Copies of this chain bind each other. A is one copy, B any other.
């Protein structure tokens, strides 16, 4: 309020005056459009420097209808499931990509229905050029909201519905899970249990599918559902042990649940990996490297997934700008990689 340095912010008009050109020409130079002769352009650039001119984004947005800003919408209740570092890393990737393309990141955290309405209004308000949607549950209304608002979106994680028009970025959950189990099988394990995530999330379902791919016809009691928390992992581990005392391996659908499982095993004096091998999923370093023993897990490049989401969205927002505009945009499934540590 009444800040001097904000008050004397030079306008394009001032730059033009100083450079002895019209506002239109100054604008052309500032926006890098060609067709301005070198000496003039140079004069304008000097004036910009001398005055410390910075374009007023509001004025620009008002006429161009572009915000150069993207919303990242995170549905809070679900955030807990995906342990926090996951989100943080993804946001980091998004931020980098957005920055590289001169876009801003507006963070919208929601909790509860009232917030959805607020987000809907915000998106409809045309404040952002696009939105990145996170941690949706099965019948989440957020994508519909965004669509109604006419805001291009990209979703983090495969949504439960299929729709050619819906763009998302996810890792190869199924393939990764398959790899994990295959690795256990290759290591001679035969009685392999699975700690699944909540089955109303596609990631959990896909990982379970992968487990089944490698181990068809598994007794359903070898599969226990957790909730992506350590507690859930611990409970699931206990259940597994109960149904199958001679278990020799477990594949958990997340590192965090695996850490809960490890805890139960340690408490009961069961040696990992000697008695039971454990494989996680995610490779969240702060978890997987610091469990005891360190966790063998399936790595997904979380930050890169973030970058990809941002890139995809930006291309959707302005098809011409992106890379040499390929054909239709499509969802992306990133590969996973087995990272062997000590737990299996």
Interface residues of A (CB under 8 A from B): 1, 3-6, 9, 52, 54-59, 61-62, 65, 67, 69, 72, 76, 83-85, 87-88, 91-92, 95-96, 99, 104-109, 115, 118, 121-122, 124-127, 148-152, 230, 259-260, 263, 266, 286, 289-290, 292, 317-319
Contact = CB atoms under 8 A, between A and B. Distances in A.
B259 A124 contact: no
Contact of A107 (B57, B85, B105, B122): B105
Contact of A127 (B96, B104, B118): B104
Given A62-B58, A62-B59, A107-B105, A126 B317 contact: no
A116 to B, nearest CB: 12
Contacts of A150: 3-6
Contacts of A108: 95, 104-105
Given A5-B150, A318-B1, A106 B109 contact: no
Contacts of A292: 263, 266, 292
Contacts of A3: 150-152
Nearest to A317: B1
B92 A55 contact: no
Given A54-B125, A85-B85, 5 more contacts: A3-B151, A88-B88, A95-B109, A107-B107, A230-B289
B290 A57 contact: no
Residue with the greatest number of chain B CB neighbours at <10 A, chosen from A57, A122, A149, A230: A57
A84 B302 CA distance: 14
B62 A56 contact: yes
Most chain B CB within a 10 A radius of its CB, from A56, A58, A290, A319: A58
A290 B292 CA distance: 12
Nearest to A289: B230
Nearest to A111: B96
B286 A83 contact: yes
